[in-house]
């Protein structure tokens, strides 16, 4: 029973944080002490506390992206002790809570590291490559106005559930950050799978697979070597089978002479 | 108090010093004539058109790419306009719309359970407590049907039944099952649908994205909205963009309260700066408080997390009968628990509307019967339904939510009741727009949560997503075209004087923020502002409290400009500077929010005035004096704004007092 008798302790933590003024200069790990940290705080609220202290001293706070703070917008992107989104698994770093740590722990905090995700400042990286992959074909080419009644095409429940599993991706980029090749196969595969599963996406599935995969390669992401690190850190549990599906879709398109 | 009070006051003659009355307010809503069901068709036919070959010569600036902005940008791009899209995020897909969980309403009547366009219209007007325009709401209900078709065609994976048809559920106490959903991620899937459609236009060259840009001013040339000034959030550069029309789709202002369920970068800045340039702000005091959020755990808290309303379908809300009862919930016997919603509202029980559920939670906590460490929470208990239906059924319905709750609080809701408390969630108020979604500045259109239009004093669950997409996919493309075809729009260059002047204002404000070099952070001051608003302009509002809030807000604003500290420089990414700018705007905006609440001496929807309640303590509307939209005109920071009224007429849905007994 945890009513009212929760230990009212606060923690002191030793942080090592990647600081880099901008993309043109080198960065380094800088030590900070986080004091008075409550176990009820989220990881980002802990960083807020550190930043408030820095601001009061007139120093520049640590830059990091976040917005929804409930695990759905995909903004937050930190490597905590070598693991994208931290030790919990199946969650984003904004949902990680400090009760996961012990008083006195040392925590290393780094940005996503990948050639296709250049650092902008401190822990903020440029993930616009993902938008360009979607722009290459991650949609159905239908315009507003002509859609038939939504129940015209029946879709089996299992199919739509599988599509939803793939569509749950939040484009945070943890898959790329954790992969030793910095591959974006899980991200790209998830969108290709979602639309390939649904009848609405059928008309252009080959063209889509070709174009998205080519864009992914052009952005400088590495290739997949099936180690599954991406799946292990994905906060939304996107399955590596999406990559297999992507490969099938791509090969089928390439061998049928589809042009993009 | 109560009944007599409401009929005796003459609200329009009170407190002349705090605001001024427009002598002859002729706000032109431009409602089409004719029967309700034909109004939109008539307007569409009367609208002027632009030939396909000419469209690319028209530049439309879209600010914000949430549901409203992304859908508008996609639809206008598809028609061939030259669209420039601006947003503060790194990707359009991160807009706050992504966080909507529950679902989207549509009058499809796939369930054969008595739904219709008219019923959705009626429910929305009634739910909004008769403070919305009939013509707008009817159009919204009509378009709801097209939205679902459009989204399905995009590949939005809405829930389906075994037979392959779309699944729907009842939401927020609605008596028909008209809510479509994609697990607990409906907003995400709808936004991705709109985002992907927009990205297709990016690929085709009709839409150009401008990420990480914050709109800091609207440029008005010869009385028309002709451009914007933005700060490039990476380089710090102040940039100017010209166009033929500007669409503001920048979301709501819930984060004025500091703690809310909104994403932390949500802001009123774009809307407020447009207001300062002449766009009236309507009904700012209509804010919505959501009853089922995870309670505050301490000072450090940066935002509040919503627990889906659907939980109220299977959970029972209670507090101990005795004030100050600190026993753990499982030690409080059945007979000493007060299931207060079931007791007071036997027919709706735990499913009363959001405002009623929220106010009752506050009431029991004010009586000292709140639970948890802070005493600011009530229990939402699943025990009965877990034993009735089994843990597996509950897990199948709410597994994700229960997990999220446990991650945040460290408590397991399967074995101990959840603690919940209300939080600010949505803002019905916003920039005033006419039927064509155009503000009081010609050429400035406002879409989505940023406008005030369709929800009156209270929004029904699952209706915001519907409104954002109706505005963007189906309304703006027609009305913006009509404007572009009818207005005289000489070419302007972003180097013209009005652009330079606006950029200079923006630059001066940034310099001012950096120049104070005080000792208090913007966070601290924002937190204090939030407390003032929550205490006095929150769930329950009174004349004395609101007046006190006005004093405190102006003190805080002064304190901010004397003591705020913003380190770093203006010429690269500076998140402290961005944030301080937003807080500065909230400190100005909070005043008109409070004034609006002060002037509206009735209770309606989310706005509860203690002076206007029935003998049983329920909200009491005052239709004789307040059946209007209050639209505020800016006259200067801290100066009395001018109140314009747009009278509301109800030809079809006749006002009745809501009752959930
Ligand atoms: C937790 C939660 C759950 C919800 N669930 C539901 C639900 O189930 N059903 C429902 O109908 N509604 C729900 N709502 C409400 C609904 O999500 C919102 O009202 C709606 O998504 C708002 O969409 P929008 O397009 O108007 O704005 P937003 O999605 O907020 O988008 C705002 C856009 O403006 C940009 N922007 C903001 N300021 C600036 C600036 N100064 N300069 C440039 N760009 C700027 C942002 O980058 C963003 O692109 C929920 C809300 C919350 C908080
Ligand atoms: S801040 Fe949105 S997912 Fe973490």
Residue B322, domain CATH: 3.90.700.10
CB contact under 8 A, B202 and A135: yes
In a domain, A148, yes or no: no
Distance B141 CA to ligand 2 centre (A): 33
In three-state form (DSSP H/G/I as H, E/B as E, the rest C), the secondary structure along chain A is: CCCCCCCCCCEEEEEEEEECCCCCCCCEEEEEEEEEECCCCEHHHHHHHHHHHHHHCCCCCCCCCCCCCCCCCCCCCCEECCEECCCCCCCCHHHCEHHHCCCCCEEEEECCCCCCCCEEECCEECCHHHHHHHHCCCCCCCCCCCCCCCCCCCCCHHHHHHHHHHHCCCCCCHHHHHCCCCECHHHHHHHHHHHHHCHHHHHHHHHHHHHHHHHHHHCCCECCCCCCHHHHHCCCCCCCHHHHHHHHHHHHHHHCCCCC
B147: Cβ contacts below 8 Å, ≥ 6 apart: B104, B106, B466, B469, B470, B473, B474
Does residue A6 fall inside a structural domain?
no
Residue A147: inside a domain: no
Report how far residue A1's alpha carbon sits from residue B269's, in angstroms, rounded to the nearest whole number: 45
Residues with Cβ within 8 Å of A146's Cβ and at least 6 positions away in sequence, in order, are B153
**Same structural domain, A109 and A157:** no
- Shared domain for A131 and A84, answered yes or no, is no
List the 227-256 stretch of A: residues with Cβ below 8 A of B. none
A19 close to B (CB below 8 A): no
Who's near A108: CB < 8 A, 6+ residues apart? A15, A16, A29, A79, A80, A81, A82
Question: What's the CA-to-centroid distance between A51 and ligand 2, angstroms?
Answer: 18
**Co-location of B635 and B530 in the same domain:** yes
Burial-class residue B28 by CB neighbours within 10 Å (0-12, 13-18, 19+): exposed
Short-list B77, B71, B79, CA closest to B195: B71
Q: Say if ligand 2 is within 6 A of residue A42 CB.
A: no
Mutual orientation of helices A128-135 and A205-218 as an angle, nearest 10°?
Answer: 150
| Residues within 8 A of A (CB atoms), B 67-96 only | 71, 74-75, 78, 89-96
What distance in Å separates the CA atoms of residue B642 and residue B536, rounded to the nearest whole number? 23
Which of ligand 2's atoms lies nearest the C-alpha of A170?
Answer: 3
pLDDT of residue B399: 87
Please state the ipTM of this predicted complex.
Answer: 0.96
Whole-number average pLDDT of chain B: 94
Q: Does residue A4 lie within any of the structural domains?
A: no
**pLDDT (tens digit per residue) in B327-344:** 999 999 999 999 999 999
CA B456 from chain center: how many Å?
A: 11
CATH number at residue A108: 3.10.20.30
Contact call for residues B440 and B37 (beta carbons, < 8 A): no
**A163–B110 CB contact, under 8 Å:** no
Same domain, A63 and A91: yes
Instruction: List beta partners, residue B82.
Output: B59
Whether A2 maps to a domain, the answer reads no
| Measured torsion, CA atoms of residues B65, B66, B70, B73, in degrees rounded to the nearest 10 | -50
Please tell me the predicted confidence (pLDDT) of residue B308.
Answer: 85
- DSSP assignment string, B61-104: EEE--SHHHHHHHHHHHHHT-EEEEE-SSSSGGGSGGGG--S-E
CB contact under 8 A, A67 and B404: no
In degrees and rounded to multiples of 5, residue A34 shows phi and psi of -105, 115
Residue B516 has pLDDT above 90, yes or no: yes
Pocket of ligand 1 (CB under 6 A): B 63-69, 86-89, 95-97, 99-104, 186-187, 214-215, 249-252, 261-262, 266-267, 269-270, 306, 425-426, 448-450, 462-465, 468
Distance CA B131, CA B116 (A): 21
Asked whether residue A110 falls in the same domain as residue A30, the answer is yes
Q: Residue B481 falls within a domain, yes or no?
A: no
| Structural domain for B295, as ranges | 290-424
- Note whether B85 and B208 are within 8 A (CB): yes
Do B521 and B617 fall within a single domain?
A: yes
Point out the domain boundary residue: B400, B424, B448: B424
Locate the chain A residue with the closest alpha carbon to B75.
Answer: A144
Let me know if residue B33 belongs to a domain. Answer: no
Q: Report the pLDDT value the prediction gives residue B184, as an integer from 0 to 100.
A: 87
Q: How many Å lie between the centroid of ligand 2 and the Cα of residue B129?
A: 35
Instruction: Please check whether residue A133 lies inside any domain of the structure.
Output: yes
In a domain, B43, yes or no: no
Q: Cα dihedral sign for B322, B324, B328, B331? A: negative
Say what the pLDDT of residue B297 is.
87
Question: Quick one: pLDDT at residue A8?
Answer: 57
- A-chain CB neighbours of B410 within 8 Å are 2, 6, 39-40, 97, 99
Chain B CB contacts of A119 below 8 Å: none
Q: Is residue A1 part of a domain?
A: no
Minimal-distance CA residue to ligand 1 atom 30: B251
Indicate if A251 and A133 belong to the same structural domain: yes
Instruction: Give the Cα-Cα-Cα angle B474, B478, B479 (nearest 5 degrees).
Output: 110
The residues, any chain, with a CB within 8 Å of residue A241's CB and separated by 6 or more, are none
Does residue B629 belong to any structural domain of this protein? yes
Same domain, residue pair B401 and B499? no
CA neighbours closer than 13 Å in the CB half-sphere of residue B625: 20
The residue to mutate among B69, B73, B100, B104, having the most atoms of ligand 1 within 8 angstroms of its beta carbon, is B100
Neighbouring C-alpha atoms within 13 Å toward the C-beta of A36: 8
On whether residue B510 sits in a domain, the answer given is yes
The answer to whether B595 and B553 have CB atoms below 8 angstroms apart is no
Q: What's the mean pLDDT in B14-18? A: 66
Same domain, A112 and A131: no
Q: How many domains does chain B have?
A: 2
**Is the residue at B138 inside a domain?**
no
pLDDT tens, residue by residue, B543-583 = 999 999 999 999 999 999 999 999 999 999 999 999 999 99
A190 lies in the same domain as A243:
yes
Burial of B215 per CB tally in 10 Å (0-12, 13-18, 19+): buried
What average pLDDT does the structure give for chain A? 95
Atom of ligand 1 nearest to the CA of B273: 41
pLDDT tens-digit readout, B136-150: 999 999 999 999 999
- Which one of the listed residues B94, B131, B226, B354 is annotated catalytic? B354
For residues B515 and B420, state if they share a domain: no
Among chain A residues, CA nearest to B207 = A135
Residue A8: its chain B contacts at CB < 8 A? none
* pLDDT tier, B8 (very low <50, low <70, confident <90, very high otherwise): very low
Q: Which ligand gives the minimal distance to the CA of B98?
A: 1
Position A260 in a domain:
no
Structural domain contains residue B526: yes
Q: Note the pLDDT tens digit of each residue in B49-95.
A: 999 999 999 999 999 999 999 999 999 999 999 999 999 999 999 99
* A177 plus A223 within the same structural domain: yes
DSSP bridge partners of B83: B60, B207
Q: How far apart are the CA of B251 and the centre of ligand 1, in A? A: 5
How many residues are listed for chain A in this entry?
260
Instruction: Report CB contact under 8 Å: B164, A163.
Output: no
**What is the pTM assigned to this prediction?**
0.96
| A259 pLDDT tier (thresholds 50, 70, 90) | low
In the predicted structure, residue B12 carries a pLDDT above the cut 70: no
Considering the domain architecture, whether residues B503 and B632 belong to the same structural domain is answered as yes
A212 touches chain B (CB under 8 A): no
C-beta neighbour count of A27 within 10 angstroms? 18
For A192, name the nearest residue in chain B, comparing CA atoms only.
B155
Residues A17 and A113 in one domain: yes
A72 lines ligand 2 (CB under 6 A): yes
Assigned domain for B41 exists: no
Rounded CA separation B285/B596 (Å) = 6
Q: Residue A134's domain is classified under what CATH number? A: 1.10.1060.10
The two structure tokens encoding residue B505: 């204002």
How much is the average pLDDT of B285-300? Answer: 93
**pLDDT tens column, B201-228:** 999 999 999 999 999 999 999 999 999 9
The closest-lying atom of ligand 2 relative to the alpha carbon of residue A93 is 4
Q: Which pLDDT band holds residue B2 (cuts at 50, 70, 90)?
A: very low
Answer whether A154 touches B (CB < 8 Å): yes
Q: Is the minimum CB–CB distance between A135 and chain B shorter than 8 Å?
A: yes
Each residue of B622-651: pLDDT tens digit?
999 999 999 999 999 989 999 999 999 999
Determine whether B354 is an active site residue: yes
CATH number, residue B521: 1.20.58.100
Assess whether A61 and A172 both reside in one domain.
no
State residue B16's pLDDT score: 53
Query: Is the separation of the CB atoms in B317 and A60 below 8 Å?
Result: no
pLDDT band at A5 (very low <50, low <70, confident <90, very high): very low
Give contacts of A 26-85 with B, CB under 8 A: 38-42, 44-45, 48-49, 52, 54-56, 58-61, 63, 65-75
Contacts of B372 (CB under 8 A, 6+ apart): A3, A4, B295, B419
Same domain, A55 and A115: yes
Token couple for A182: 């910095």
Give residue B94 CA to ligand 2 midpoint distance, Å.
Answer: 9
What's the angle, vertex CA A260, arms to CA B85 and CA A241, rounded to 5? Answer: 85
Q: Are residues A137 and A93 in the same domain?
A: no
pLDDT at B174 over 90: no
Domain co-membership, B499 together with B614: yes
Boundaries of domain holding A203: 127-142+153-255
Structural domain count of chain A: 2
Report the nearest atom of ligand 1 relative to the CA of B216: 41
B371 pLDDT band, cuts 50/70/90, is: very high
pLDDT digits (tens, 9 = 90+) for B216-259: 999 999 999 999 999 999 999 999 999 999 999 999 999 999 99
Q: Which residues in chain B have their CB less than 8 angstroms from residue A58's CB?
A: 517, 565, 567
Let me know: does B145 contact B178? Beta carbons within 8 Å: no
Helices A185-197, A157-167: inter-axial angle, 10-degree rounding: 160
**Gap from CA of A170 to ligand 2 centroid (Å):** 9
């Amino acid at each position: 029973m945890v009513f009212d008798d929760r230990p009212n302790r606060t923690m002191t933590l030793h942080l090592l944080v990647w600081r880099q003024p901008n993309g043109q200069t080198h960065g380094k790990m800088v030590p900070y002490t986080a004091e008075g940290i409550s176990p009820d705080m989220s990881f980002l609220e802990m960083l807020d506390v550190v930043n408030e202290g820095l601001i009061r001293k007139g120093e520049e706070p640590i830059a990091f992206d976040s917005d929804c703070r409930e695990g759905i917008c995909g903004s937050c992107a930190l490597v905590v002790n070598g693991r994208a989104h931290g030790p919990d698994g199946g969650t984003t770093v904004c949902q990680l809570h400090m009760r996961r740590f012990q008083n006195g722990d040392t925590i290393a905090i780094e940005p996503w590291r990948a050639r296709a995700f250049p650092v902008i400042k401190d822990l903020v990286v440029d993930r616009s490559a993902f938008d360009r992959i979607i722009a290459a074909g991650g949609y159905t080419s239908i315009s507003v106005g002509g859609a038939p009644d939504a129940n015209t095409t029946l879709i089996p429940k299992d199919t739509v559930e599988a599509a939803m599993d793939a569509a749950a991706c939040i484009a945070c980029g943890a898959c790329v950050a954790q992969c030793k090749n910095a591959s974006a196969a899980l991200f790209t595969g998830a969108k290709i799978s979602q639309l390939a599963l649904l009848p609405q996406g059928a008309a252009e599935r080959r063209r889509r697979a070709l174009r998205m995969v080519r864009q992914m390669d052009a952005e400088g992401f590495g290739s997949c070597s099936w180690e599954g690190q991406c799946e292990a850190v994905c906060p939304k549990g996107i399955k590596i089978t999406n990559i297999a599906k992507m490969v099938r879709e791509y090969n089928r398109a390439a061998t049928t002479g589809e042009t993009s | 108090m109560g009944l007599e009070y409401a009929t005796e006051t003459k609200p329009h003659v009170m407190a002349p010093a705090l605001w001024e009355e427009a002598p002859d307010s002729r706000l032109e809503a431009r409602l089409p004539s004719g029967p309700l069901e034909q109004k939109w068709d008539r307007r569409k036919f009367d609208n002027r058109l632009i030939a396909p070959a000419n469209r690319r010569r028209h530049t439309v600036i879209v600010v914000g790419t949430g549901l409203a902005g992304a859908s508008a940008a996609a639809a206008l791009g598809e028609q061939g306009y030259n669209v420039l899209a601006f947003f503060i995020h790194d990707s359009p897909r991160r807009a706050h719309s992504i966080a909507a969980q529950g679902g989207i309403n549509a009058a499809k009547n796939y369930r054969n359970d008595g739904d219709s366009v008219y019923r959705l219209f009626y429910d929305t007007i009634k739910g909004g407590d008769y403070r919305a325009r009939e013509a707008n709401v009817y159009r919204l209900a009509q378009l709801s049907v097209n939205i679902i078709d459009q989204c399905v065609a995009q590949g939005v994976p809405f829930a389906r039944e075994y037979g392959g048809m779309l699944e729907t559920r009842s939401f927020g106490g609605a008596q028909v099952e008209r809510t479509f959903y994609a697990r607990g991620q409906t907003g995400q899937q709808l936004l991705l649908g709109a985002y992907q459609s927009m990205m297709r236009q990016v690929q085709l060259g009709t839409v150009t994205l401008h990420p990480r840009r914050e709109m800091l001013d609207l440029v008005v040339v010869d009385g028309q909205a002709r451009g914007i000034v933005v700060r490039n959030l990476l380089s710090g550069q102040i940039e100017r963009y010209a166009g033929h029309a500007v669409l503001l789709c920048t979301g709501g202002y819930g984060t004025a309260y500091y703690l809310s369920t909104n994403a932390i970068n949500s802001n009123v800045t774009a809307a407020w700066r447009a207001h300062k340039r002449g766009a009236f702000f309507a009904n700012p005091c209509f804010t919505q408080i959501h009853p089922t959020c995870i309670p505050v755990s301490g000072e450090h808290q940066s935002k509040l997390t919503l627990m889906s309303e659907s939980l109220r379908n299977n959970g029972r809300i209670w507090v101990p009968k005795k004030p100050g009862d600190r026993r753990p919930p499982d030690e409080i016997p059945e007979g000493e628990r007060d299931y207060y919603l079931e007791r007071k509202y036997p027919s709706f029980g735990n499913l009363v509307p959001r405002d009623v559920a929220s106010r009752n939670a506050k009431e029991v906590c004010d009586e000292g019967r709140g639970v948890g460490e802070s005493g600011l929470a009530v229990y939402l208990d699943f025990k009965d339904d877990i034993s009735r239906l089994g843990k597996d059924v509950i897990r199948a319905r709410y597994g994700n939510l229960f997990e999220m709750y446990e991650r945040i609080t460290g408590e397991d809701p399967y074995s101990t009741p959840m603690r919940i408390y209300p939080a600010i969630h949505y803002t019905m108020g916003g920039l005033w727009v006419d039927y064509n979604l155009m503000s009081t500045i010609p050429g400035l259109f406002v879409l989505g949560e940023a406008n005030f239009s369709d929800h009156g004093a209270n929004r029904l669950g699952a209706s915001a997503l519907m409104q954002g997409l109706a505005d963007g996919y189906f309304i703006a493309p027609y009305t913006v075209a009509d404007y572009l075809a009818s207005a005289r729009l000489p070419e302007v260059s972003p180097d013209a004087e009005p652009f330079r002047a606006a950029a200079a204002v923006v630059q001066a404000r940034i310099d001012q923020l950096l120049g104070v070099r005080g000792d208090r952070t913007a966070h601290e001051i924002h937190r204090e502002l939030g407390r003032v608003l929550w205490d006095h302009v929150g769930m329950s509002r009174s004349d004395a409290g609101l007046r006190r809030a006005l004093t405190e807000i102006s003190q805080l604003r002064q304190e901010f400009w004397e003591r705020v500290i913003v380190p770093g420089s203006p010429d690269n990414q500076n998140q402290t500077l961005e944030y301080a700018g937003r807080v500065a705007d909230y400190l100005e905006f909070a005043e008109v929010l409070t004034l609006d609440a002060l002037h509206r001496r009735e209770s309606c929807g989310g706005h509860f005035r203690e002076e206007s309640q029935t003998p049983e303590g329920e909200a009491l509307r005052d239709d004789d004096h307040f059946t209007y939209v209050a639209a505020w005109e800016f006259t200067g920071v801290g100066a009395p704004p001018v109140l314009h009224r747009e009278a509301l007429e109800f030809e079809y849905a006749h006002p009745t007092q809501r009752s959930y007994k």
